[in-house]
Structure 1
Amino acid sequence: MQHGKYRFIAGFLIVPLTIYALFVIWPFVQSIFYSFTDWTGLSPEFSLVGFDNYARMFGDGTFWKALQHSVTFVLLLPVVTLGLALFFAFMINVGGRRRKGAAIAGVRGSSFYKIVYFFPQVLSIAIVALLFRFAYNPNSGALNSALGILGLDGLQSNWLGDPNLALWCVMAVIVWSTTGFFVVLFSAGMASIPKDYYEAALLDGAGRFTTFFRITLPLLWDTVQSGWIYMGILALGAESFAIVHIMTVGPGGPADSTTVLPLLVYQKAFVGGQAAYATTIGVALLIVTLAFAALVSRVGRRERLEF
């Protein structure tokens, strides 16, 4: 009977596992293999070169700059994005004042705010990058124009042309474009928390601050942890690549001040014809991503709360 059960389970798993291994695991294996070659990506010919690409990577100043920027992204963007999303979701769902017939409610106009926060998700990331590229334009951009109208001409700047500001401008766009998704995610999680908990806390005299840290955050922790990992992957992957590639000069400039690992992989593979070296940088990106996910899972591990 047990053998029949295992055959039944294996029959359902063999097809999806085969597809996963073929389209996910195998490309990773191929990338690791090509990192030990001199493949250009333009020809099927290549030869093994051992650890030469890794030695070159460790001596490449641009790689270390890109790694520093990617690590900055993965450390700061989840903190800022998830912090804002938790605050907005809490205020939309349970942070409002008491009203007639409802002890627990969101702030007034919460339905409108949900639409406003989610609006960036409707736009393509390429459209978002183009919009903010125009907004950051030092001559005719909306940001400098608004500062001029307000009489704050001293704060006007060449936002994407200043090596000290460009990276922060890019990070601000990523935060703006991703916060809405997590507002919706956390709102769905908060909707599943029994209202009795909040009503009991209100009867005990708890304020918003206490209610959030004593009820909402502990019961929402699994969702927050998953969101943290997902946001980190976005910051290390397609989101950062698309924004940097479209918005910045170069791209990756000025003076490599906005270069990130995904962009460097693209430049080496498709611009420089150095596919093997690009896969080597890709392996480093994979290690950083796995290390981040493992660290968040380890640090964020806590006893599961049932409700």
Structure 2
Amino acid sequence: MTKNTIVLGTWAWGDNNSYFGNNYDEDHFRPVFDAAIAKKLTFFDTATAYGNGGSEKILGDLMQSVPRNELTISTKFTPQMAPATDNPVQTMLDESLKRLGTDYIDYYWIHNDADVEKWTHDLLPVLKSGKIKHVGVSNHTLSEIKRVQEILAEEGFKLDAVQNHLSLLDRSSEKAGILDYCKENGLEFFAYMVLEQGALTGKYSVNNPFPAGSVRAQAYNDKLPQLTDLVDKLSEIGKKYDLSAAQTAMAWALSKDTFPIIGVTKVNQVEDAAQVAATRLTEAEVKELEAVAAKINVDTTGSWEPNMNE
């Protein structure tokens, strides 16, 4: 892939009012998908775990209007959802293929590091089927990434990508040396939660918190007061490029030579992402943002994420 590619995330598609606090149906996402295609943003990231297959089903229905070879589709095997079959990875992949209405996946990920030895080995027969173009790991530490590479190499396969949390508030993968390792070893790094699920967009504040009852509200509402200075700095730097705070946070992730995964639920968010793809922050601006972020003592690590320093 070309560097500085923005990936559109569908974590909130098919959410059914649980995690993100929305209950949008397929009709809501049709114009969002169409806008993405019009803007030549054709890389979509989903997972069986997103809406328990709901995200894949919506994306799968919508993508039938576009030639398959014009799209790049990423989905995931989640160990905690493994079915009781002879090969759970194969079963989950087949179910994903059916929901997505396709016969291959461009990027297939082991969603977390629940059991690196077991699930990496169980992935091998699936790779031999030829239904996966690129294999990746998500929420893995550096030592685990290296172990996955060893297991795959024994059977003639290679790891292509890593997908971890990376934002101005969580640079643990960078500090643990994972970004540098990826650059040195030809692995693509996909950054998720770049906008901290909306906390770095400027949309939410002490006076306008996340929807009550949502998981986002529990995770971020008590942190909003500490984020004011950073959001203000994002807005300040963004004005030089006619970017919003959210777009500037995306541009920061691009500056790290990553593929930012930007969650989109509205047409304007797609348009924002497309504008960012053509923007480059200066090294000084990147350092200025990181200096402000470093003063904020908040932890946005997800409950599912490993300690990257181990």
Provide TM-score, normalisation by structure 1. Answer: 0.21
Structure with greater helix percent: 1
- Structure number with greater Rg is 1
Structure with greater strand percent: 2
